[in-house]
Amino acid sequence: MPCIIPLTDLSQADRMRIRAGAKKAVLDKAVELNIGKPGDIVVRDAVMGDVTTTQITDFADVINDTTTVAAGQEFWGIDSTEITAYDLSQVIKGYDGGNVKNKNVIGVFGFFDNTATPDLTAIRLKRGSDTLDFWETEQCYANTNEFGGMIDGVIIWEEQDPFAIDMNFKTAADKLVGLYALVAERYGEHISAA
């Protein structure tokens, strides 16, 4: 798999190229899975939500593993109780019982960190017990202008795949770490066709 590249090492053109490549790969996978024809499918940014799915007022694609930062959460946030310091902790899972929703495809191509005092050291991307990729992230914090990174590629989960993200932090405190992630689904699920 591709290595994580610090955001500060990527030009704006690089970032747009990586995002466009990820969007195409997610769309192609959705078409391959017969979710719809290209014109019937929308590719949008993934939404993180509250593990208590009944409290989400809009929708979510992925959720906190066991505890939310705030009730009704619809933003990237990880509660301190999800984290075991200096150990990989599963912090994000698929919305549908830990799986990707039916008739959805999710692609992840990086992460960003808006935590006031960031201390993320690694991210493991899993499909069930299989590790799809492992990002050692400390080099993504060497420049203090912007924290995060992208891969020159995309990790894809298909509909009903078990989706899990583990992160390793130095402290067990609330974190504002998110994924550069895209979802492909049919128009009409959440986004109306133009």
Does 116 map to a domain?
A: yes
Phi, psi of 82 (to 5 degrees): -80, -15
pLDDT digits (tens, 9 = 90+) for 3-35: 999 999 999 999 999 999 999 999 999 999 999
Does 191 map to a domain?
A: no
pLDDT digits (tens, 9 = 90+) for 83-94: 999 999 999 999
The residue ranking higher by pLDDT, 50 or 112, is: 112
What pTM does this model have?
Answer: 0.94
Does 174 map to a domain?
A: yes
Q: In total, how many domains does the chain have?
A: 1
The span from the CA of 92 to the CA of 149, in Å, is 18
What residues make up the domain containing 117? 5-186
The residue ranking higher by pLDDT, 143 or 181, is: 181
Does 194 map to a domain?
A: no
Does 192 map to a domain?
A: no
